[in-house]
């Protein structure tokens, strides 16, 4: 598994909003404070909105806000919102890619490793990171 730049930026967006949950956050402000391209932030926030992690309010006084408390949003939520399901090997998500799946002695190990990774990513919520940076 590789964390993409887009996912890294999404995590930074959520951390930014988690530090001030009571306000609406403008794309321009997030981009400037987090040193990210504005167009990229807009694209990321749309993915996070589609995943119901953030909400958007249109208009002059609009912006983005967390839909949940920081303690309810985990690294797993954000990663999956941007990258899709967690997997170690493509055979885990696409049965057609590997005809040897039922014969492969390594496949159960990939599943075990994925499950450990998922459990670890579920453990870290954004309240934890706010405490670290606050």
Fold annotation for 5-85+125-133 = Arc Repressor Mutant, subunit A (1.10.10)
Distance CA 53, CA 70 (A): 10
Contact of 126 with 12, CB cutoff 8 Å? no
Residues in the chain, overall count: 134
Contact of 95 with 85, CB cutoff 8 Å? no
What pLDDT score was predicted for residue 96? 65
Phi, psi of 78 (to 5 degrees): -70, -45
Confidence category of residue 34, pLDDT binned at 50, 70, 90: very high
Spacing of C-alpha 54 from chain mean position = 11
Nearest partner of 76 among 5, 3, 131, judged by Cα = 3
pTM for the full predicted model: 0.86
**109-121 pLDDT, tens digit each:** 888 999 999 999 9
Specify the range with the lowest mean pLDDT, choosing from 61-65, 98-102, 105-109.
98-102
Residue 22, SS3 per DSSP = coil
Confidence category of residue 106, pLDDT binned at 50, 70, 90: confident
Indicate the domain borders of the chain: 5-85+125-133
Nearest partner of 27 among 18, 37, 19, judged by Cα = 37
């Amino acid at each position: 598994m590789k964390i993409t730049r887009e996912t890294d930026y999404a995590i930074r967006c959520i951390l930014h909003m988690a530090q001030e949950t009571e306000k609406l956050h403008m794309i321009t402000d997030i981009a400037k404070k987090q040193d990210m391209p504005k167009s990229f932030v807009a694209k990321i926030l749309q993915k996070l909105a589609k995943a119901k992690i953030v909400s958007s309010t249109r208009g002059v006084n609009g912006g983005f806000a967390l839909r949940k408390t920081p303690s309810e949003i985990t690294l797993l939520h954000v990663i999956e919102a941007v990258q899709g399901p967690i997997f170690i090997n493509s055979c885990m998500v696409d049965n057609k890619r590997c005809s040897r799946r039922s014969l492969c002695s390594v496949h159960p190990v990939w599943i075990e490793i994925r499950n450990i990774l998922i459990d670890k990513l579920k453990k870290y919520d954004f309240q934890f990171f706010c405490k670290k940076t606050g």
